[in-house]
Amino acid sequence: MKHHTGSLEIITGSMFCGKTEELIRRLRRATIARQQVQVFKPVIDVRYARTELASHNGMTFEARPVDRAAEILEALDPETTVVGIDEAQFFDAEIVSLVQRLADRGVRVIVGGLDMDFRGEPFGFMPLLMAQAERVDKLHAICMVCGEPASRTQRLVDGRPARYDDPIVIVGADELYEARCRRHHQVPR
């Protein structure tokens, strides 16, 4: 089933807010609707599975790991009508023009990714993608300190907040990160 118009949907928020779970839910619905679906993820994301999207709660969906955004276009089947991309914050600048080209060609593009890094600053090209999207859903996790809605990702090093000048990209899960609200998110300088 071909779409009449393409679109860009963004699913964003902190770690542990359910971004990948929501992406998988939308991809499964597209599959049920007999749409041709292809899914991609950055090759560096090997936390749970190399060739699957995997949510923190165990949901999975087959995905092709790619090193650069341009590889998505190279691997795309001409019959594909829905493209899923997870962890978009890890892709190079080409991701922005690539998703626009796909949407312009009538493809429904669904992108998941962190909107902010552990510092609480915009992450990668997600702000541009969000600005150009037809739909943006910002999900919230639960603050691990107070139980309020959490919009930030706290990186921990030996149980203490990571310092501002620590590397931006360190792939990990609950052994390195916690969801935090604005009040409890800490980044020492």
On whether the CB atoms of residues 145 and 179 are closer than 8 A, the answer is no
Sorted by sequence, the CB contacts under 8 Å of residue 147 that are 6+ apart come out as none
| Active-site pick, 87, 94, 121, 148 | 87
CA distance 101 to 4: 15
**Is 79 a residue of the active site?**
no
For the chain, percent helix, then strand, then coil, each to nearest 5? 20, 30, 50
In the chain, beta strands by DSSP E:
7-13, 37-42, 52-54, 60-62, 64-66, 82-85, 108-114, 135-139, 141-142, 149-150, 152-157, 160-161, 177-180
Q: Please, what is the end-to-end C-alpha distance for the chain in angstroms?
A: 52
CA distance 164 to 108: 37
Sorted by sequence, the CB contacts under 8 Å of residue 106 that are 6+ apart come out as 2, 3, 4, 5, 6, 81
Q: Which residues are catalytic?
A: 87
